[in-house]
Structures are given as C-alpha cells and as structure tokens.
Chain A
Amino acid sequence: MQVLEAGIGELFQPPDPNAFREWNRRKPKALVEKVMSEQEAIRRFVFDGAYIGTELYGTVRCPMSLAREVVRQGFKDLRVAGQGVMELDLWLAAGLVKKLDLTYIGLEVYGVSDALRREVESGRVDSVTEWSNASIAWRFKAAAMGVPFIPVRSMLGTDTLKYSAAKVVECPFTGEKVCLLPALVLDVGLIHVHRADKYGNAQIDGISGFAFEMARACKRLIVSAEEIVPEEEIRRRPHRTIIPYYLVDAVVHAPYGSYPGEMVYLYERDEEMIKEWVEAFKEEQTARAYLDRYVFGLRNHAEYLQLIGPERLAAMRWQEE
C-alpha cells in the first residue's frame, strides 16, 4: 500500500504488536490478590517519562484519586494520551506533562483549560500530536485487536490529520482513500470502575466510554474501584465484566474516587467544587495553592475525603430520575 499522505505529528511509540504479544505472554495469569494502596500502585507502576493514559471523559468516572497520587509523587516528563479532562488538567497544572496525544482538553461548559494554554503556549509541553476523540479510542482498539493499525474514515482532509501521526492510503478493496491510525499501547493506564474483586475483575455501570479498548491496550493497568466485592459477585454476573483480572496489575479501593466528578448511580458531580477548580486553575499561583490544599497537603485519598467531609459527600448522592 502506498502512503499518499502522512501526518507530521510525533508518534510517541511506534506500534509493535509482536513485542506487545511477548509482554502479554509474560503477564501473570494466576488469580492472585492485587489490592494495594494508591501510593503503592502508583509507585510501582508509574515512572518518569511513562506513556500514561486515563479513562473516561469530562467529569465522569474519573480516576481522580489515582491522578492526585501521580501529582503527589511528582513524576516528570509524562507522555499522556487519553481523554480525561480533569485528570489531564490537573497534571498540566502540576507541570508533569512533556508530550500530549491531544484530542480535547477543556472544561466543557466552563470553556478552555487555562492550564493547557499555559503549558502549551509556553512550550513546556514540547510536543502535541492531534487526534479526534474516536481516533484515540480506535488506536486503543487496534492495540486491543493485536494489529498495528486500524482503517477509519475520520480526520481525512483536515489539519487534525496533518498534525497527527496517522497516514492516508488508497484502500486496496474500494480504491478510496482511507485513514490508518497506529495502534497505541500505553506503559500504564488508570481506570476507575464501580466494582472490582481483589484479582482485578472489574465492572462498570452505565456507559463504558473506552474502558474496554483502553484496558486491553495497556502494559500496566491500575484499576480503582468504588467497591471491592467478593469474587462470587463477579462470577454471578460475568457479562458485566468489562475488564478481566489478567489485564490488571493493581486494584485500589477508592470510594468517591471520581469526586468532584460523578459516578453514575452512586453520586453526582459537585458543581461548586468544580467551579473552585476552574477558578483556581486560571492563574499559576492560585493553581499552586489549590494543589497545596488538595494534593500536597494530604497524604492520601482517605485524608482528601476527610477534608471534603462526609456531609458534603453524602449530599452528592445520586438522584434517581
């Protein structure tokens, strides 16, 4: 196949399905307990320069307790992919990000991310490769399929493609141009779920975003869960399992792990707290004060929940409609 057009964006990790197969072959398949604290999970599996990603999007099912622990431990030069809006905003504000596979970092109804603006416009993020939302998810899907690329019909004809690392070829079947997205394998992925057992079998209620695809595209996967349930509960409803245990390296118990974001059917997002975040992150100095108060000044997620307070958390309880 002849390449007709190639994006000039940096490809942070060229696809290597054979190496990924070897990696996956070596991953333990035994049912062993993987429950640990967020400090231990982040310390063991994240490293400086890691290619790291989070799932889901906006203020929904965000692995916030894990994202804060990454900031607390101060990893540098992260290469970041994914679509976590609050998590990535947090890491940008903390100055941890060196390279970005970027599809969208903004605050939805509250507009642009000032942390993104500061870090990219100053050049502190030294490389930004553009993608669409589905393209990032499809890149995970290609990795999950164990193939080097996936053909899609997004991005064609645009600067999004030009500044991506995709390629355009003539389809050998239709003769039309098609966009090829390179498989994306993360060094480490962070996903927050409703429930998991001690082995890492994980279930999600409501929409599953791109958890299915991303979980299968990580060399190391840390799952945080609102609830750790007995293995029997997973086995009773196995069709609900999005992430089977063998993909998972660490299981972290994180009640209110998505706060101040939401967790469908459990708690809603805390609008006042999100506004406080948005306001604080407008300037570097106030962002630093926010991080001191909510991240560096606390030892762990349990202390964070104490600071927020049980009454406030209880008030966020999900309202059935």
Chain B
Amino acid sequence: MGDLAYNPTELMICVASRLMEDGTTAFIGTGIPMLAAMLAQRRHAPNLITIFEFGGTGAILTKLPRAVGEGRTFNRAVAASGICDIVETAQRGFIEYGFLGGAQIDMYGNLNSTVIGPHDRPRARLPGSGGANDVGSNCWRTIAIMRHDQRRFVPKVDFITTPGYLSGPGARERAGLAPGTGPYRVVSSLALLGYDAESKWMMLLAVHPGVTVQQVVENTGFVLLIPPDVGENAPPSAEELRILREEVDPGRFYI
C-alpha cells in the first residue's frame, strides 16, 4: 500500500465526501461531515453550499471548523444569519442533504444521541438532540456517519432522538413529518449502506476495501438486507489523501 496507507477515519471521510454533489445544499455538523465537505469543495464539488446550524450559509472552508458556530463556518460565506433562519430554510424544503451521527442506529435509521438506559435514570447521559432532530426531520435526505459494531447497530435504539423511518413505511408521514424526507445513506466504518425503497429496511450497498459481507453482518445487531450485487468502495485516492492531510486537517485534529 506504501504511501496510500490510510486509517479508517480517512476512508469514512472520503466515502462521505463522494456523496456530496456539486451545486447542492448540505447541512454540516461537527466532525467528519466538516472534513468531508471541505474535501468535496476542493475536489469535485467547488459549489457545494455548506449550511451550518447557527447561521453560516455558503462558506468557503479554508480552515477546518471545530464547532458549528465558529467563524470558520461562515468564512467568506454568502450569508451569516441565525439558527431560526437556517432550520426554517430546511423546514421549507431548501436543504437536500443532512449529516448525522449518534450512539445507536436501528434498521429504520432511527438514531439515539440522548440516553443509554431509561430516560429518567440513565446508565449514560449523552449530549442530547442538538440539531440532529431538526436535520433528521426537515432535510430531504439524511446521511448517518457511524462506527460499525453490534453496540451501535442495534435492533431497537434506547431512545429515538432523531427520526429515521420510525416504525417503517409510511410512519414518518403518519407522524406529521414532511413527505419524501428520510434516511438515505449510512457511512459506517465497514461499509456504505442504504435503505430498501419498499420496506425502508437498511441495506448493504458496498463494503470498504478488505471488508467482507460476513464481517458487516456479524457487526450488525439486526438483520441487514444483502442484495446480490454488493459493491466495494474505492480506497482513498492519492489526491484525496493529499488534500485531506495537507489542506483539510494538517494539524491532524481529527485524522
């Protein structure tokens, strides 16, 4: 592998970055989505419109943000407003992609970032929804970024912080959420996953280099749909790694 050796975080950033299309809007949260967006802007999506929760729209990301409100999230942006404007923009249908994370995800893409154990006497109190519920409720297509193991890919999340497809087909609409919205992809540390159009059940799309379908199945706590034509994600290219290491995160804050 030589110079093209890479770590799992770098691979997840590259796979997430490739999902970001040029000329579209993406709601960016802390961590991997920030690196993926910056990489996308420098590679295939110079006109990716980044949207940050506390008011930054259309930043040109020259330095990696470490927080969703900091100055870097509206560096040479087209607008600096506030949280109501940003989430209302999502609520009106302007924001295509939303990136999410969490401690647990289930087969319908429901996410937990609130508690492990019962709510009122939790075994672990996690940070809470933050903007996740707003993103998962109001962006057209949401992409979750998760480490992949049985503790995180669970049959039932302890707490639905952020709506995926809830209890299955039609459940989002029945709850009052906007039609046509919902989970789209999961970028995990083992694979790229999507959802079956009919059943809304999570489905394996492509494994990461060197990962087997069996490994993905073994690390998933629910039955995963496995189509006959599972692909393989390309490893990070030399160009992706160079941009990532030299321009996006030279201080190795995340990678």
Contact = CB atoms under 8 A, between A and B. Distances in A.
Interface of A: 56-61, 102-106, 108-109, 112-113, 116-117, 120-121, 123, 128, 130-135, 137-138, 141, 152-160, 163, 168, 176-179, 206-213, 262, 264-265, 268-269, 271, 318, 321
A154 B127 contact: no
A209 B83 CA distance: 5
Given A134-B131, A160-B162, A321 B69 contact: no
Nearest to B71: A264
Given A59-B70, A158-B161, A206-B74, A133 B127 contact: no
Contacts of A269: 66-67, 70
B129 A131 contact: yes
Given A117-B124, A152-B91, A207 B81 contact: yes
A104 B127 contact: yes
B69 A133 contact: no
Contacts of A128: 119-120
B42 interface: no
A157 B73 CA distance: 31
B54 interface: yes
B202 interface: no
B128 interface: yes
B121 interface: yes
B170 to A, nearest CB: 11
A213 B55 contact: no
A160 B114 contact: yes
B84 interface: yes
Contacts of B53: 57, 133
Contact of B132 (A116, A132, A138): A132
B82 A130 contact: no
B55 A178 contact: no
A157 B176 contact: yes
Given A210-B84, A213-B84, A321-B76, A109 B176 contact: no
A268 B55 CA distance: 18
Contacts of B178: 153
Interface of B: 30-31, 53-56, 62-63, 66-76, 80-84, 87, 91, 110, 114, 119-134, 137-138, 159-163, 166, 171-172, 174-178, 253-254
Contact of B67 (A60, A208, A210, A211): A60
Contact of A132 (B66, B73, B130, B166): B130
Contacts of A133: 53, 83, 87, 129-131, 134
A157 B114 contact: no
B54 A57 contact: yes
Given A106-B126, A160-B114, 15 more contacts: A58-B67, A59-B70, A60-B69, A103-B129, A116-B127, A128-B120, A130-B119, A137-B82, A153-B91, A153-B138, A153-B177, A154-B87, A156-B163, A264-B70, A269-B67
A57 B134 contact: no
A64 B31 CA distance: 24
B180 to A, nearest CB: 13
B159 A103 contact: no
23 contacts: A57-B53, A58-B69, A59-B70, A112-B124, A116-B125, A120-B122, A121-B124, A130-B119, A132-B131, A135-B134, A153-B178, A156-B163, A156-B175, A157-B177, A159-B160, A160-B129, A176-B176, A177-B174, A207-B80, A208-B80, A208-B82, A209-B54, A265-B71
Nearest to B117: A121
Contacts of B126: 106, 112
A116 to B, nearest CB: 6
Contact of B82 (A135, A210, A271, A321): A210
Contact of A59 (B55, B67, B161, B174): B67
Contacts of A134: 83-84, 87, 131, 134
A71 B74 CA distance: 32
Contacts of B166: 157-158
Given A178-B176, A179-B176, A137 B130 contact: no
B161 A207 contact: no
Contact of B69 (A112, A159, A209): A209
A206 B75 CA distance: 10
Contacts of A208: 55, 80-82
A98 B116 CA distance: 21
B63 to A, nearest CB: 7
Contacts of A213: 82, 84
A56 B129 contact: no
Given A121-B124, A206-B74, A158 B160 contact: yes
B45 to A, nearest CB: 20
